[in-house]
Amino acid sequence: MLGSMIYEGLVYYDDAEQKIKPNLAKKWKMSEDFTQYIIYINKRVKLHNGQNMTAGMVKQSWEKNLLQANDWAAVSLYKDIQGFSERVRGLNNEITGVQALDNERLQVTLNAPNAGFMNTLANPVFWIFGEEETVGTGPFMVQSNPDNKNIVLIRNEEYHRKKPCLAAIEMTVYKEQSQAWQDYQEGRLDLISDVPLSELKSGLEDENLKKRVVDRPLLTIYALGYNVTHAPFSNNYYLRRALNYAVNREEIIKKAFGSNALPLKGAIPQGIPGYDESIPGYSYNLEKAAALMNEAGYPQGKGLPAITLCFNDNPGQRMIAEMVAGQLSDIGVKINLIPLDWEAYKKQMQKFTMAFFRLEWQMDYSDADSIMYNLFHSSRTGMTNFGNYYNAQVDKLLNDARSYASEEDRLSALNKAERIVVDDAPYLWILQRKSHLMLGADVREFYMDGLSIIDWSRIELHKAGAM
């Protein structure tokens, strides 16, 4: 949340028009084969310290972002740029595929065609900053930050887009969710980013509070992953599909999320081009689940050893795991639950050895390619393809999608790939997250996109009685 106050990228995603628009860049052009991009920098943009932004600063920022990124989901967004591998392995001191041609032109060269490359640049891993890393180009700049808990930001008077409405923002980082909620109730907060689920449910049911809830779907999916190279899921898509039909998503959403989520029937979530409402996907159907268990060779679960489900241990994750285990028992499937502390769970995810595991995935950019390529293309195995999924036809469709000039053709290829993936069922899809934010009574013109990035320049405060 703090980052989007201070920093920006070359482009941003316009949710209303569902497309990428220029921001710190003013325009771009690409080669016919989509392997080279020339990006023209908006020379009107100044950093908080008064410096003009240049293409060299963009390259410098990207180099630092790559080295400082602490997870493969972020690092993998650089993977398609020439020189990525050599830079990460320390064989070169720069990403050779990123070059400042002069102050106003940045050249990016890719290893393979990617017609949607500009979409990736809206991700925070491509945000721009100066020599001092607290200096960005965003609508607000840091005035004081004594302890990383109480941060004061003031308006960037030289902001290149619409002048921010607010003169200053004070941000408090809470250790306890309950204390933040108490301060919000007592009117000391104009925005709370993580409302307790029980309170959020009450807010959605209360006519006076409902309008304060930022009730919007996020581009974040919650699923259970199968490692398709491990027993019992390898070479048995009937079993993987059976489990998908045996889960009652509506019940899980109601009990664990206070109805603040959407059932997920396929791979691509709602809210982006490429979401296919007509895809059959999976719904709760015990009759189908039982029939598929027969096809899988485990009628009523007979002969199927207990399946171990690993998850990071907290009350919410445990509740969902227990509900899933209870529901799967209705088709004779026994689940052993293995809760792990967060650090241990992350290490297990990075080893790609768990057969059945919890996965929550926030899309890296607002494009169906983000979820389809990262989670299901074989080139991402060992990075973000957590289930070791491989389908040659899916790989071809995803590669084709990146080489199409026509948006219609690109999305058609992605949709075809999704239908194959959903049929293969490398995941047990459960839900799409929704926002957990609530606003104060005086907040107006609040806008947040599906990646949880807030446009701070638009927010207004209208105090009671003010003119």
CATH number at residue 413: 3.10.105.10
Residues 336 and 314 placed together within one structural domain of the fold:
yes
CATH code of the domain covering residue 157: 3.40.190.10
Last residue of a domain, one of 126, 158, 175: 126
pLDDT of amino acid 84: 92
pLDDT of amino acid 128: 94
pLDDT of amino acid 256: 85
- Asked if residue 134 is part of any domain, the answer here is no
Residues 104 and 151 placed together within one structural domain of the fold:
no
- Asked if residue 1 is part of any domain, the answer here is no
Round to whole Å and give the CA distance between 12 and 270.
Answer: 19
List, for residues 147-162, the tens digit of each pLDDT value: 888 899 999 999 998 8
Residues 270 and 308 placed together within one structural domain of the fold:
yes
Last residue of a domain, one of 100, 126, 152: 126
List, for residues 97-132, the tens digit of each pLDDT value: 999 999 999 999 999 999 999 999 999 999 999 888
Can you give the three-state secondary structure of the chain, one letter per residue? CCHHHHCCCCEEEECCCCEEEECCEEEEEECCCCCEEEEEECCCCECCCCCECCHHHHHHHHHHHHHHCCCHHHHHHHCCECCHHHHHCCCCCCCCCEEEEECCEEEEEECCCCCCHHHHCCCHHHCCCCCCCCCCCCCEEEEECCCCCEEEEEECCCCCCCCCCCCEEEEECCCCHHHHHHHHHCCCCCEECCCCHHHHHHHHHCHHHHCCECCCEEEEEEEEEECCCCCCCCCCHHHHHHHHHCCCHHHHHHHHHCCCEEECCCCCCCCCCCCCCCCCCCCCCHHHHHHHHHHHCCHHHCCCCCEEEEEECCHHHHHHHHHHHHHHHHHCCCEEEEEECHHHHHHHHHHCCCCEEEEEEECCCCCHHHHHHHHHCHHHECCCECCCCCCHHHHHHHHHHCCCCCHHHHHHHHHHHHHHHHHHCCEEEEEEEECCCEECCCEECCCECCCCCECCCCCEECCCCCC
pLDDT of amino acid 1: 72
DSSP bridge partners of 271? none
Round to whole Å and give the CA distance between 319 and 228.
Answer: 25
Residues 81 and 221 placed together within one structural domain of the fold:
no
- Asked if residue 135 is part of any domain, the answer here is no
- Asked if residue 270 is part of any domain, the answer here is yes
Residues 423 and 320 placed together within one structural domain of the fold:
yes
Residues 370 and 295 placed together within one structural domain of the fold:
yes
Q: Is the pLDDT of residue 243 over 70?
A: yes
- Asked if residue 87 is part of any domain, the answer here is yes
Which amino acid is it at 176? E
Rg (CA), the chain: 23
Residues 205 and 259 placed together within one structural domain of the fold:
no
pLDDT of amino acid 55: 96
Ranking 49-53, 71-75, 276-280, 302-306 by mean pLDDT, the lowest is 71-75
pLDDT of amino acid 465: 41
- The highest-confidence range among 57-71, 132-146, 221-235, 434-448, by mean pLDDT, is 221-235
- Asked if residue 301 is part of any domain, the answer here is yes
Predicted confidence band of residue 467 (pLDDT cuts 50, 70, 90): very low
In the chain, the number of structural domains is: 3
Report the share of the chain in percent with pLDDT over 90.
Answer: 67
Residues 260 and 152 placed together within one structural domain of the fold:
no
pLDDT of amino acid 464: 53
Question: Of 370, 369, 348, which Cα lies nearest the Cα of 359?
Answer: 348
Residues 420 and 453 placed together within one structural domain of the fold:
no
Residues 324 and 370 placed together within one structural domain of the fold:
yes
DSSP bridge partners of 191? 439
Q: To the nearest whole number, what is the mean pLDDT of the chain?
A: 91
- Asked if residue 359 is part of any domain, the answer here is yes
10 Å Cβ neighbour count for 64?
12
pLDDT of amino acid 52: 94
Round to whole Å and give the CA distance between 251 and 249.
Answer: 5
Residues 102 and 201 placed together within one structural domain of the fold:
no
CATH code of the domain covering residue 106: 3.90.76.10
Q: Is the pLDDT of residue 46 over 80?
A: yes
DSSP bridge partners of 106? 39, 100
The most distant pair of C-alpha atoms in the chain lies apart, rounded to whole Å, by 73
Last residue of a domain, one of 76, 93, 126: 126
Say if strands 335-340 and 307-312 run parallel, antiparallel, or are unpaired: parallel
Predicted confidence band of residue 35 (pLDDT cuts 50, 70, 90): very high
Round to whole Å and give the CA distance between 357 and 198.
Answer: 26
- Asked if residue 3 is part of any domain, the answer here is no
Show the domain range for 62: 8-126
Q: Classify the C-alpha dihedral 113-116-122-123 as positive or negative.
A: negative
Residues 439 and 429 placed together within one structural domain of the fold:
no
**Which residues, including other chains, have CB under 8 Å from residue 294's CB and lie 6 or more apart?**
none
